Structure 1
């Protein structure tokens, strides 16, 4: 259980925030009624019960900070039906995958903690959401938290940075506000 709480803290401590580039958060003026209809999910709700129990027991791999290779991803592509096909929002971070010709973001992985998929092992596939935007947006600050809102779908996507078990339909990305 300690590993679950220490991993995000270790990742944050290992990274340095660069100088502000002036890129602002993605402007999303979602109507209050839409936001109210969304259910905020905890990332742990996206794990099947047996995988959540294993994570709480600390049955994941030991984090290795040596060498220059990313650790292998662990976990499964199993999803939870109860979180699918309804309006939800998740707090998390953007890991860019693709851009349009003008450099605007068109595809990304959405992850539960900063530094995921970059440093040490990516989260399990059922803790990553793959997003393809219908229209590219200005590149968001990768160090800032956001809300990703839309309808989760079970869809396996394999990428060099990590596989994902979920994708999102009708995605919107807006700044995180507690």
Structure 2
């Protein structure tokens, strides 16, 4: 895996005050406006449900400056990457919808958060939604499943409660 800093997109209008409490972040706030517009136009690849190979990932590693370094929580799903010897989870991708990175194209890199946990946790139910809480950072990670543009520092996985 390679970790490089993605190019941030400056969007000061959406920046909360630095001392703001943890807030729920919408996944679409993590995409530069031009990329969001392209996605809404349907510029991504068509989904193919044949074969057993991962579809190519579309999108870029560009991040949005306004969401970086903020205490946030994101709703989403866990895609396990690595476990400790006892089977507890140590590293995962956090994605906005169930089934991402399986047979459909993975979300764009700026819609995936790469998480390395300081302390392993019991393997969560991959079918259940969670909140990922912590401080969002920009770090490019290339993995066999998908690339990600974001990382989460001091990450905590919490049960999803609407």
Q: What TM-score comes out, normalization by structure 1 length?
A: 0.79
CA separation in 2, counterparts of 1:115 and 1:165? 19
Q: State whether residues 71 and 134 of structure 2, in contact with CA within 8 Å, keep that contact through their aligned partners in structure 1.
A: yes
> Matched residue pairs, number?
143
**1:174 lines up with 2:158 in the alignment:** yes
Q: Secondary structure at 1:117's aligned position in 2?
A: coil
Q: State whether residues 52 and 103 of structure 2, in contact with CA within 8 Å, keep that contact through their aligned partners in structure 1.
A: no
**Larger helix fraction of residues:** 1
1:116 aligns with 100
In the TM superposition, 1:104-143 aligns within 5 A as: 104-143=88-127
CA separation in 1, counterparts of 2:91 and 2:116? 4
CA separation in 1, counterparts of 2:117 and 2:68? 19
CA separation in 1, counterparts of 2:103 and 2:68? 29
Shift of 1:80: 0.2
Moved over 2 A (4+): none
Q: Which of 54, 58, 81 is the equivalent residue of 2:42?
A: 58
1:17 aligns with none
Shift of 1:39: 1.1
Q: Secondary structure at 1:37's aligned position in 2?
A: coil
> Could you say what the CA RMSD is over the residues aligned between the two structures, in angstroms?
0.9
Shift of 1:66: 1.4
Q: What TM-score comes out, normalization by structure 2 length?
A: 0.87
In the TM superposition, 1:1-178 aligns within 5 A as: 37-178=21-162
Shift of 1:113: 0.2
CA separation in 2, counterparts of 1:154 and 1:100? 25
For structure 1, the residue ranges without an aligned partner over 5 or more in a row are: 1-35
1:95-118 CA distances to partner (integer Å, 9 max, x unpaired)? 000000100000000000001011
Shift of 1:69: 1.1
For structure 2, the residue ranges without an aligned partner over 5 or more in a row are: 1-19
